[in-house]
Structure 1
Amino acid sequence: MTITLAPPSAPPTRRTSLVLARGVLTGAVIGSSLAALAVGTVLEHVPLLIGGLAVPLAYGLLVLAAGAPGRAREAAVVPRTALAMIESLRATGGETSDVPVRFDLTVAPDGGPAYRVESTQFVNLVDLRDYEPGGIVVVQYPPHRPWAVKLVKRPTPEWEDRAAGARIDSAPGPALADEPSPGGTVGGYLTLLALLLGAAGVVLVFRGELFGAEEPTDRPPSAAGPADPGTSSTTIVSAASGTVVLGPGQSLFDEGRLRLAVDSLTKGDSGKRQALTVVVQDRLLTVVFIPAGSRAPGFDLDDLPYPRIPALVREARTTLGVRSPKTWQLTAESLSGALTLRVGVTGTDGAASLEANGRGEIVRRVPAR
């Protein structure tokens, strides 16, 4: 019996829009979950880490539940039986008695056009000699998935007789290897785009914590105009120390602000108190005074080179190799006998510092390493 082949036709297609939408949703879930895990790890954000794990798990369960009716309907479909000719076969590996064999088949269904298909099946080494190019075999496949071809190892006597007397001409390619992608290249690009957008969305939501503006204590020396004595600040003075905390939007590096803050700590003193150390940050000033009767080396607060301090901080931030400075502070002390100013800067590149004398002249630099 000779089977005459009709031109191959395209296999049935599924609803493209639904599959594309599922691909986009899958990409968004994967992208946002991976980004949530990465951002949650960086920020040590436990709820975000839990969400990064729970969302894909919940989505997977939802997909399984939504696909259950379809899988049940597919399992109830009676497969079609047809004859096929082996165009070629090749064992692709395996170290057991059953080895994977890739078959190139021409399938000739009854009453339908023939087509080429590639199918990988496990065949026992003992039975491998029963298959050879040009041989006729019996196959089965779901009616709506003609590419899902499986060899029938023990066909009924009727199909055995048909296979024994049949001759099938080769069908032109290309051979179907898997389910056709409904969206093709467009579907792949849409899934990738959704993945990137999902990841970007998570990063965008937490951009303030990841890449947010520097805290007020991390601002560079301000170029604002002269300080307004009426602006808000908190001053705490005791016998041993004094502290000034400026309100938001202010800086001790504004013109004249540091001198006003220092004066507020010594206002009302009958005599000038000597300072042991002075620590200056952007909005925080701390002065440790020498206790009465102590012989510890100190210095007069009027001796600080106030006009030079903003320039020293700016010099430390920009010339010592710390490209992204996060924190810095200026410390003034005279423990060695002479007034010394040190500006320390820290950032992602490490730490650096410079040292200046009582006139604000730089005498030493320690760049980042």
Structure 2
Amino acid sequence: MTIAAGAPPTHNTPADLALGFLTGGVIGASLTVFIGGCIVERAPLIVTGLVLPAVYGLVFFLATLPRRAREAAVVPRTALAVIESLEAVGGETSDVPVRFELSVAPDDAPAFRVEIRQDVNLVELPDYRVRGVVVVEYPPDRPWKTRIVKRPTPQWEERAAVGQVDSVPGPAMKSDPTGGCFGGLLTLLGLLLGAVAVLVLFRADLFDSHEGDSGAPRPSVSSSSSSTSVVTSARGTVTLGPGQSMLDEGELRKAVESLTQGADERQALTVVVQDGLLTVVFSPTGATTAAFDPRSLPYDRVPGLVEEARTTLGVDSPQSWQLTADGVTGSLTLRVMVTGGGGTGMLEADARGKVLRRSGS
């Protein structure tokens, strides 16, 4: 291959620009779908955000495998070069990145000028000086990938010690080509378009009032001066304000209805009631697990059950209580646990609030 002296390689080819645009699109799409999936709690979107860059990387690896195999099969050429200039460009370790500008003089090809960046150990840095002759290797078809040989063979080491290399005029080829402003703009454009494409394709999952086809309401938050409600597809919570309790008349019923309004068919796996907090874990649509209608709780019996647990279970100085309702046994069961300085106790009742058994510390 004939190398014109000082002729820089061609960068920013259409293939390079297209690759930069595609890479930006994959990055934008992956980040958008992953973050969106986390926000709306959709596992398929999260998995897509993780798998997409991996698939793209695999396709890129396979697509470039033949080219890299051809490049690896090229036997590098060895030549003498003179250091026109050198400059350390940073580094805080024992290996310092150094920018070299070299005039390379092959034995059987035209000389050329090239600029490279190569790590040099601090101990070896004094061995390199301006107008010093070094041994280099480079692929004949890619001379801008020239590298200084740190441990040349004795024959080439002797040639470098006594040889002289003339400077090559003209611009230097770059070993680290950059995509330029236009390439960077194309990558940014691809990133933005990838994000927009995800928002358009998955708008039903990200923005609609229902998630997919399940009919479950999207996450929503509502608040008032007295309580705050948070509802997602799997869970709903109501937090009361200061000075309020779920044992107040009508408070528990109102809290449950605030989580189930507009969703008459929704069933619950578990309902947990504490003094100022209600948590309802909803049953997935179509699931065959034991579930119940959270509105079927015996609201009027809850304050009495809590008071009975506080006074009859032998717990000294009861400090907190918790009522748990579930249908694991096939029918609705209420369990009231009381905790105090003297231990814990539990009272169990049926769906009508009738006490079935007691256990204390």
TM-score (norm 2): 0.51
Matched, 1:157 2:155: yes
Deviation at 1:14, TM superposition (A): 7.0
Equivalent residue, structure 2, for 1:190: 186
Question: How much has 1:76 moved relative to structure 2?
Answer: 1.0
Identity %, equivalent residues: 45
Distance 1:24 1:200 in 2: 14
2 CA distance for matches of 1:50 and 1:157?
Answer: 57
1:133-282 → structure 2 map (5 Å cutoff): 133-153=130-150, 154-157=152-155, 160-161=158-159, 164-169=162-167, 171-174=169-172, 176-179=174-177, 181=179, 184-212=180-208
| Partner SS, residue 147 of structure 1 | helix
CA deviation vs aligned residue, 1:84-116 (integer Å, no higher than 9, x gap): 1112333433443x5443323222334324213
Q: Which runs of 5+ in 1 are unaligned?
A: 219-276, 285-369
Query: Judging changes above 3 Å, is the alpha-carbon distance between structure 1 residues 95 and 24 closer, same or farther for their aligned structure 2 residues?
Result: closer
Segment of structure 1 superposing worse, 132-141 or 202-211: 202-211
- The residue that corresponds to 1:120 in the other structure is 118
Q: 1:62 aligns with which of 59, 74, 91?
A: 59
| Partners of 1:106 and 1:114 within 8 A in 2 | yes
**Separation of aligned partners in 2, 1:113 and 1:165:** 15
Per the TM alignment, residue 118 of structure 1 is displaced from its structure 2 partner at its CA by 2.5
Q: How many angstroms apart in 2 are the aligned matches of 1:7 and 1:157?
A: 26
| Aligned twin of 1:237 | none
1:314-353 paired onto structure 2 within 5 Å: none
Aligned AA (1:50): V
- Whether the aligned pair in 2 keeps the contact of 1:104 and 1:175 (CA below 8 Å) is no
- Deviations for 1:3-56, whole angstroms, at most 9, x for unmatched residues? xx9852132x47923323322221211111000011111111110110000111
User: By how many angstroms is 1:175 displaced?
Assistant: 5.4
Mark the structure with the bigger radius of gyration. Answer: 1
Tell me the alpha carbon deviations over residues 211-245 of structure 1, each in whole angstroms, 9 at most, x when there is no partner.
44799xx9xxxxxxxxxxxxxxxxxxxxxxxxxxx
TM-score (normalised: structure 1)? 0.50
Please give the root-mean-square deviation of Cα atoms over the aligned residues, in Å.
3.4
Kept after mapping to 2: 8 A contact 1:101/1:122: yes
The size of the alignment, in residue pairs, is 212
- The amino acid of 1:89's aligned partner reads L
Change (3 A) 1:8 1:99: closer
- 8 Å contact kept, 1:119–1:149: no
Paired with 2:11 and 2:4, the residues of 1 have a C-alpha distance of 23
Counterpart code for 1:179: P
Q: Which runs of 5+ in 2 are unaligned?
A: 211-216, 221-253, 263-361
User: What is the distance in 2 between the residues matched to 1:19 and 1:131?
Assistant: 35
CA distance in 2, matches of 1:171, 1:203: 54
CA distance in 2, matches of 1:94, 1:156: 32
**In 2, Cα distance between the equivalents of 1:6 and 1:47?**
54
Structure 1 equivalent of residue 356 of structure 2: none
